[in-house]
Amino acid sequence: MQRKQILEDASEYCRQVNQENIDDEPQARPPSPPSPPALESVALPPDNKDTKGKTRLKNDTHQCSSDPDARMAIKPNKPKDMYYHGQVCVDSQHGVVTAAMGDYGSRKDPQSFPELLAKARENLANFDRQIKELLADGGYSAGENISLCEQAGITAYIPNPSNYTPVRPGFTYNEQ
User: DSSP label at 126?
Assistant: T
Neighbouring C-beta atoms of residue 39, cutoff 10 Å: 16
Whole-angstrom distance, CA of residue 162 vs CA of residue 160: 6
The DSSP annotation for 53-107 comes to SPBP--TTTEEESS-TT-EEE--TTS-SEEEEEEEEEEETTTTEEEEEEEEETTS
pLDDT of residue 174: 82
Query: Quick check: 42 pLDDT over 50?
Result: no
Residue-averaged pLDDT of the chain: 75
Q: ∠ CA(169), CA(170), CA(176), 5° rounding? A: 115
What's the rounded mean pLDDT across residues 131-158?
A: 92
| pLDDT 10s digits, 58-108 | 665 666 666 666 776 766 777 767 677 788 999 988 889 999 998 877 778
pTM of the model: 0.57
Q: Are 97 and 119 in contact (CB under 8 A)?
A: no
Residue 1 pLDDT class (50, 70, 90 cuts): very low
Ranges 31-40, 62-71, 112-121, 163-172, most confident: 112-121
- Gap between the Cα atoms of 121 and 136, Å rounded: 15
d(CA 85, CA 130): 26
